[in-house]
Amino acid sequence: MGWQDELQSLDEQLSAGQIRAEEYRKRRDELLAAASSGAVSLRRVQRQKSPSVAKPSIANAFNGDTKPDTSKTADVTQQVPPVAWTTARPAGPAQQQQHPQQPPAAMQPPQGQGPPPMSAPMIGSEVFGTPPTGPTKKSRVPKFVIAVVVLALVAAGTWWFAFRGNNDSPQIAVPPPAATSSELSIDKIPNPTDSPLSTSGVLTVDQAQTNNIIRPDEAAYLSATDLQKIYFRNIVIGNLSYQLFAFQTQTDTGGARIVSGALERGKRASMVPASMEGLPPKVTLTKILNDGAAIYEAVYPIERGAVRLVVLQVGPNNERQLVSSMKRMVDMTTMSIKPK
């Protein structure tokens, strides 16, 4: 029995449902592989349709209920060259050579040229990795980056031409003018101690009286002047209280009136003149020593204002401590706010 007969027998067994499709494919591949070792001939089996039997479809080809009529067949044998089986195993040395049928003249290659080369089969990874046949799209990122850079350069150039002005020399920022001695601020009042401030602020006469910073008789002579602001700082250390006032007025006359008003009030409170070594000129020093309390007070005029410094000691009198504390406070304040 030739391999064509065996192949026909496999077909009949598959159609009759005697074998499964998997077994049919396995035996068919083995049969074709064995047949490729020699001259290969294919047999076409042309089945004639029976008038009383419906033509089997592909769906019932593997169904045993449908059996085609194989009683009438026509055999047609065609010789195929060995190269037709490109997927078969290599032929052995005992392979028989047969002359294949010549293809029609229209399919024969031109004289002097061999058959066209056969492309290698493509494996699965190559199928899914096949590059597109159309033109490759170029990335648009470089163009976008270039556009952004160009726009940035244009904007920078426009800004430079718009704001550089008529003069090509570089513009130097001019700092604001430094505050003169006549312009008071809270920062000009020094802290004569190493301790933090207890109170600090800018007040009006009413605010200072409401917060018990000044007494009513002090508020009276201050309100009689052209006073604008009171800059105040207070530091309390142990039994000592340091009070620093800087009064800002509209005119120099207002500052002189504050100095005279503070001295007149001191006289009414029984304060007497005091002396101190190295006391700057224009600074007037007074004091009062009572049992359980002592006060040293200094006052001097400034440009459009006045300064008043007070050191209050509570408890037993220690005049040496008072003098030392007042000396330090006067020296630091007159360096920051010059007398006039």
Torsion over CA: 98, 99, 104, 109 (sign): positive
pLDDT, one tens digit per residue, over 264-302 is 999 999 999 999 988 898 999 999 999 899 999 999 999
Rounded average pLDDT over 229-245: 95
pLDDT, one tens digit per residue, over 154-176 is 777 776 666 665 555 555 555 55
- Does residue 194 carry a pLDDT above 80? yes
What residue spans of 117-251 are helical by DSSP H?
124-128, 141-163, 205-210, 216-223
- Does residue 179 carry a pLDDT above 50? no
What pLDDT score was predicted for residue 27?
Answer: 85
What pLDDT score was predicted for residue 268?
Answer: 93
At which residue do the structure tokens 């600074």 appear?
283
12-16, 17-21, 136-140, 187-191: segment of lowest average pLDDT: 136-140
What pLDDT score was predicted for residue 189?
Answer: 95
Give the closest residue to 24 by CA, choosing from 7, 44, 49.
7
What pLDDT score was predicted for residue 135?
Answer: 54
* Contact of 309 with 333, CB cutoff 8 Å: yes
Cα-based distances in Å from 154 to 140, 161, 162, 310? 21, 11, 12, 66
What pLDDT score was predicted for residue 155?
Answer: 76
Whole-angstrom distance, CA of residue 163 vs CA of residue 88 = 84
Query: What letter does residue 187 receive in the DSSP assignment?
Result: G
Token pair of 183 as six digits:
């312009």
Residue 226 or residue 170, greater confidence: 226
- pLDDT band per the 50, 70, 90 thresholds, residue 182: low
What residue spans of 177-297 are helical by DSSP H?
205-210, 216-223, 252-268
* Contact of 181 with 219, CB cutoff 8 Å: no
What pLDDT score was predicted for residue 83?
Answer: 44
Rounded average pLDDT over 139-166: 68
- Does residue 303 carry a pLDDT above 90? yes
pTM of the model: 0.49
* Contact of 14 with 24, CB cutoff 8 Å: yes
Token pair of 79 as six digits:
């010789």
Q: Could you give the percent of the chain with pLDDT greater than 90?
A: 42
* Contact of 79 with 96, CB cutoff 8 Å: no
Q: Name residues whose C-beta falls within 8 Å of residue 38's C-beta, 6 or more positions apart in sequence.
A: 95, 96
What pLDDT score was predicted for residue 46?
Answer: 44
Q: Which residues of 219-240 are buried (b: 16+ CB within 10 A; e: fewer)?
A: bebbeebebebbbbbbbbeeeb
- Does residue 124 carry a pLDDT above 90? no
pLDDT, one tens digit per residue, over 18-59 is 888 888 888 888 888 877 765 444 444 444 444 444 444 444
What pLDDT score was predicted for residue 218?
Answer: 93
- Does residue 141 carry a pLDDT above 70? no
Residue 20 or residue 67, greater confidence: 20
Whole-angstrom distance, CA of residue 249 vs CA of residue 221 = 13
Q: Name residues whose C-beta falls within 8 Å of residue 170's C-beta, 6 or more positions apart in sequence.
A: none
What stretch of H or E contains 199?
Answer: strand 199-203
Q: Which range scores top for mean pLDDT: 52-66, 137-151, 259-273?
A: 259-273
Distance of CA 227 to the CA centre of its chain: 54
What stretch of H or E contains 211?
Answer: none
Round to the nearest angstrom and report the end-to-end CA distance of the chain: 140
